[in-house]
């Protein structure tokens, strides 16, 4: 398999992150990529390919222009402000500030146009209930959300000026404190996007599956927000690039343990790109505010988003059943191409792994993805346990290629 490897990933080399009140060494360690690269070379005879620079146009087709300006200037502006260390947000607006966010179902709103304290699943005071018609509930929530955005947070729907104080811009564009921006973060993210675009082009040229191996990851990056170790959404950029190249319908399957909230947000109102995410329950796992089953899309995108949240400890029995649901949805969508956001952080040895998957399970997942029968692009997302990350990624790809003996090689 061709592996489009972002050799510039190590420019993103921050020295610490905040986790539950402590400063810890970053889990998104540059060594991760070398471990995966070496495992793939050993186990599936991967062919490393250097990405081509396609410029900013494919990135701008997905991400907001002011957001991109912020990302590309954040480190320099942080330095100009006289701050040391990585750029880390410290203050956020108190209300939702970007129209199109998909965490509306779990936010309380003030009494605006009848949208009093809407919260999915609450039964009091005439609130929308999940037990009712999903489409009807979605329509009510969409109306309430639109009214609430317009009336309660107009200033937060406008990005700060490009010359606004860097602390203000960090707080506006970040939604989590876990993603420091360092001197080389933009360079690493930019070349990650180029790797995804290059891999997409290769797949379109000859139909052979390809893998984008890069960091930082992307599936938590929204159109104009970052967090969860993600700056640019590589899977979304690849999908939009394929659409621009004439591919009719694209499915994105996210198997990372955390909900792909950024990918969902980007395509939530579109019916040409199906987003499917299998992940741990957002009741107890990042990103907490999205990833619920009733989030099915909005407007023209209603029905083109499928979330399959799983309970802790579900193992392959639960994950495999979710894979069957995902495959059925992709088949009914009549997708022409498949993009897989490949995270392996649901493994039992992962630092946050709660679903209880084993390396042999990842082989089965790869084989099931192959059975979907579409041209497939894999894009690297999460996975942080150095002892198993290489063999888990190799297991998925070996299972996909039908080389199950390679998946379990030491």
Tell me which residues are annotated as active site. Answer: 220
Distance CA 40, CA 48 (A): 10
Q: Tokens in use for 394?
A: 């190799």
CA distances from 56 to 77, 175, 227, 259, 298 (A): 21, 24, 21, 27, 28
Q: What is the CA radius of gyration of the chain?
A: 20
Contact between 3 and 48 (Cβ < 8 Å): yes
In 352-410, at which residue ranges do the beta strands (DSSP E only) sit? 375-380
Distance CA 392, CA 208 (A): 21
CB atoms within 10 A of CB 51: 23
Distance CA 294, CA 321 (A): 18
CB under 8 Å to 333, separation ≥6 — which residues? 249, 251, 274, 304
**DSSP assignment letter at 388:** T
Q: Tokens in use for 261?
A: 């909230």
CB atoms within 10 A of CB 328: 11
Distance CA 362, CA 382 (A): 14
Burial class (CB in 10 A: 0-12, 13-18, 19+), 255: buried
Strand pairing class (22-24; 17-19): antiparallel
**DSSP assignment letter at 160:** P
Distance CA 227, CA 109 (A): 24
Distance CA 178, CA 191 (A): 21
| Number of helical H runs and strand E runs in the chain | 12, 10
Strand pairing class (273-280; 305-310): parallel
CB under 8 Å to 57, separation ≥6 — which residues? none
State the chain's maximal CA–CA distance in angstroms.
Answer: 62
Contact between 300 and 271 (Cβ < 8 Å): yes
């Amino acid at each position: 398999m061709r592996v489009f490897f972002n050799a510039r990933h190590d420019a993103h080399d921050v020295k610490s992150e905040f986790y539950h009140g402590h400063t810890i060494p970053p889990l998104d360690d540059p060594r991760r990529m070398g471990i995966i690269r070496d495992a793939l070379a050993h186990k599936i005879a991967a062919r490393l390919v250097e990405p081509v620079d396609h410029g900013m146009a494919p990135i701008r087709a997905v991400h907001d222009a002011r957001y991109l300006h912020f990302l590309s200037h954040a480190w320099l502006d942080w330095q100009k402000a006289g701050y040391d260390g990585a750029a880390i947000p410290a203050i956020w607006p108190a209300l939702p500030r970007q129209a199109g966010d998909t965490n509306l179902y779990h936010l309380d709103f003030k009494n605006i146009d009848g949208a009093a304290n809407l919260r999915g699943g609450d039964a009091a005071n005439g609130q929308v209930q999940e037990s009712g018609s999903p489409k009807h509930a979605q329509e009510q929530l969409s109306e309430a959300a639109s009214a609430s955005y317009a009336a309660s947070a107009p200033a937060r729907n406008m990005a700060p000026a490009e010359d606004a104080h860097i602390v203000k811009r960090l707080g506006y564009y970040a939604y989590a404190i876990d993603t420091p921006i360092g001197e080389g973060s933009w360079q690493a993210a930019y070349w990650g996007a180029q790797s995804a675009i290059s891999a997409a082009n290769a797949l379109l040229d000859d139909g052979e599956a390809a893998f984008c191996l890069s960091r930082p990851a992307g599936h938590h990056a929204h159109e104009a927000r970052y967090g969860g170790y993600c700056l640019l959404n590589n899977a979304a950029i690849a999908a939009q690039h394929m659409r621009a190249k004439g591919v009719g319908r694209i499915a994105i399957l996210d198997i990372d343990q955390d909900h792909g909230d950024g990918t969902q947000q980007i395509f939530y109102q579109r019916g040409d790109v199906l987003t499917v995410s299998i992940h741990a329950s957002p009741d107890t796992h990042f990103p907490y505010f999205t990833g619920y089953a009733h989030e099915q899309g909005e407007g023209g995108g209603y029905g083109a988003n499928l979330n399959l949240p799983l309970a802790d400890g579900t193992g392959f029995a639960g994950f495999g059943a979710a894979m069957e649901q995902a495959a059925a949805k992709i088949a009914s969508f009549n997708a022409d191409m498949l993009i897989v956001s490949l995270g392996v952080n649901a493994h039992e040895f992962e630092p946050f792994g709660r679903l209880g998957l084993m390396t042999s399970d990842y082989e089965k997942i790869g084989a099931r993805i192959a059975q979907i029968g579409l041209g497939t692009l894999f894009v690297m997302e999460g996975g942080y346990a150095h002892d198993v990350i290489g063999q888990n990624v190799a297991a998925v790809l070996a299972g996909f290629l039908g080389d199950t003996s390679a998946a379990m090689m030491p």
